[in-house]
Amino acid sequence: MRKKIVAGNWKMNNDLAQTETFLVDFKKQVFPEDVVVMIAPPFTNLSHAFTSMREHPVSIAAQNMHQNDEGAFTGEVSAKMLKSVGVNTVILGHSERRAYFNEDSQLLAEKVNTALKNELTIIFCIGEELEDRKSENHFNLIKTQLTEGLFHVSSEAWEHIIIAYEPVWAIGTGETASPEQAQEMHLFIRKTIEEKYSKAIADKVSILYGGSVKPNNAVEIFSQTDVDGGLIGGAALKVDSFMDIVNAFEG
C-alpha cells in the first residue's frame, strides 16, 4: 500500500504569532490514521512547530536546504541544522526555487544527495510551464527533471523519496490540472520510475499533486488511481481548509 500524504507548503507566509494561532487550532484536530500529514513552515518557525506538534501525528518539513554540510554560506541552512530542530522531511526542487533562485537539476541532484546522507525524506517537486504543455513537451520535460535531478539515487533511497507533481501553470492561479490530466501525468511518472528502477519501486512511491488544490476539488483529484495525496499551498494556511483536504480521501 502506498502512503497517502497531505503536506502543507506555507511558502513565505505566517510569522511566529500567526504560526502559533494556526498550531493552537491544529493541535485540536483529529488526524486520520491512514494519512501522513506534514506542514512546512518557514525556517524561523520550524523549531516552534516541531515542539508544539510533538505529541501529534504531524511531521515538520522544511521548504529548502543548502547542499553543503556547513561553512561560509551566508543566509543558508544545512540539513544537519534542520534535523537538530526535529525536521524529518525537506521539499526540494519547488518551481519557485527553480524559477526565482536559479536552482537547476545539477544543484538539485547535490541537494538530494545531502538530504539522503542526512536521513531526511525528500519531497522532490517537478512540473511543467504552460508553454511546455502547449507545445506538448510536458512529458519530455518531466522525464528530464526526474532523470537529471533524481535518477542518480540508489534503489534503496526510494524509501525516502516522495514525488510532487506541480504544474507551474496551476500554482497559485486557481486553475488546477483536471483530475484526468493529473492522473495521466502521475501514471507517466510512475512508468518512468518503473523503466529506470523497477515496478516494485514505482508501485511504492507516493506521488502527490500540487497546484490550486482546495477543499472543493481535493476529493476528485485524490480519487485518481495514481494520485497519492497533495502538496498544498494557499489552502494549507488555514486549519479548516487544510483539514478538509487532509480528510478528502475516499473510503
Report the 10 Å Cβ neighbour count for 30: 8
Nearer to ligand 13P, 157 or 237 (CB): 237
**Minimum CB distance to ligand 13P, residue 232 (Å):** 5
Q: Give the range of 41-49, 72-80, 165-173, 190-198 binding ligand 13P by CB under 6 A.
A: 165-173
Distances (CA, A) of 6 to 34, 121, 198, 227: 11, 14, 25, 11
Q: Does 212 bind ligand 13P (CB under 6 A)?
A: yes
Answer yes or no: 56 catalytic: no
Positions at the binding site for substrate: 9-11, 172, 212, 233-234
Which residues on adjacent β-strands are paired with residue 5?
36, 229
Q: What residues numbered 86-125 form the site for ligand 13P, per CB under 6 A? A: 94
Answer yes or no: 138 catalytic: no
Which residues, at least 6 apart from 66, have a Cβ–Cβ distance to it below 8 Å? 73, 76, 77, 78, 79, 111, 114
Distances (CA, A) of 237 to 11, 64, 101, 137, 184: 10, 18, 23, 33, 28
Q: Give 162's DSSP letter.
A: E
**Minimum CB distance to ligand 13P, residue 30 (Å):** 23
Q: Give 28's DSSP letter.
A: T
Q: Give the range of 24-32, 41-49, 136-144, 233-241 binding ligand 13P by CB under 6 A.
A: 233-241
Applying CB under 6 A, the residues found at the interface with ligand 13P are 9, 94, 166, 171-172, 210-213, 231-235
| Catalytic residue positions, numbered | 94, 166
